[in-house]
Amino acid sequence: MEFEAFYLPLGENRFAPTRATESPWDHSAQHGGPPSALLAHVAADAARATGAGSRPARISVDFFGAIPRRELAVEVSPVRPGRRIDLTEAVMTVAGRTVAVARVWSLAVGPTPPVVTELTPPPAVPDSSPEVLFGLPDWGYGQAIEWRYTAGSPEDPGPADVWTRVRVPLVAGLPLTGLDRALIAADAANGISVELPIDSWWSIPPGMTTHLTREPDGEWVHLACCTQIAADGIGLCHGELSDVRGSIGEVAQPLLVQAR
């Protein structure tokens, strides 16, 4: 693996994206997964710094267009500080231009309640991975993650379920967190379950919203994804996120579906 990490830290919340962030649609742009994870990571660090015992429960990310694979900065600000409920915003800029904004709701953790939802594990991790994803053998984000399908396939459009394992750190020098692993993978849901051939149809998500009941245990995150398309070309992708124990949350993405 030639990648050290998705991002190299430059100090003062500035980062240099590596080729591990490379989008399959535009080699000069980043896939949405790594920027989403980076914004959430920095926002969650800021929320934890307040001393409250909380963790991210909802992460919404808006993309202001393609995110260039160039040096970027992240600025964090409190929106609704609180001991039990906290809302933090993280803004990503490239050359002074806003390219993505994330808002992270962090909720306080507490004693175990009298009712806890029973977990159902997804299918076991298969032994082999596809050699080529979406007919594209050489793109950074696709190589920086290990993919193992439990339903559907990368060659055929339609719903699909896949285990993912992130192969490199989000930021060089920092260990991967469960939040990192979940969000690096979550934005891939629409690509995994795309309904139309990607060489002739756009399927563009202007953002994503991820809800997490807990962070994943272990290295593997499972996505069970499907996409719906309305007659006027508006789509919705939904994915259930799980670890080896069972559900950890879900991701949803609105989609612009148009012929290229």
pLDDT of residue 134: 65
Tell me the pTM.
0.95
What DSSP designation does 68 have? B
Specify the DSSP element, H or E, that contains 56. Answer: strand 54-63
d(CA 36, CA 232): 28
Q: So where are the chain's domains?
A: 7-109+120-259
| DSSP symbols for 147-178 | EEEEES-SSS-S-EEEEEEE-S-SBTTSPPPH
Mean pLDDT across 229-245: 97
Count of alpha carbons within 13 Å of 203, Cβ hemisphere only? 26
Which tens digit of pLDDT belongs to each residue from 79-109?
A: 998 888 999 999 999 999 999 999 999 999 8
What angle is formed at CA 244 by the lines to CA 223 and CA 60, rounded to 5 degrees? Answer: 40
Q: What confidence tens digit (pLDDT) does each residue in 111-164 have?
A: 999 999 999 999 999 988 776 666 666 789 999 999 999 999 888 899 999 999
User: Domain 7-109+120-259 is in which class?
Assistant: mainly beta
pLDDT of residue 179: 97
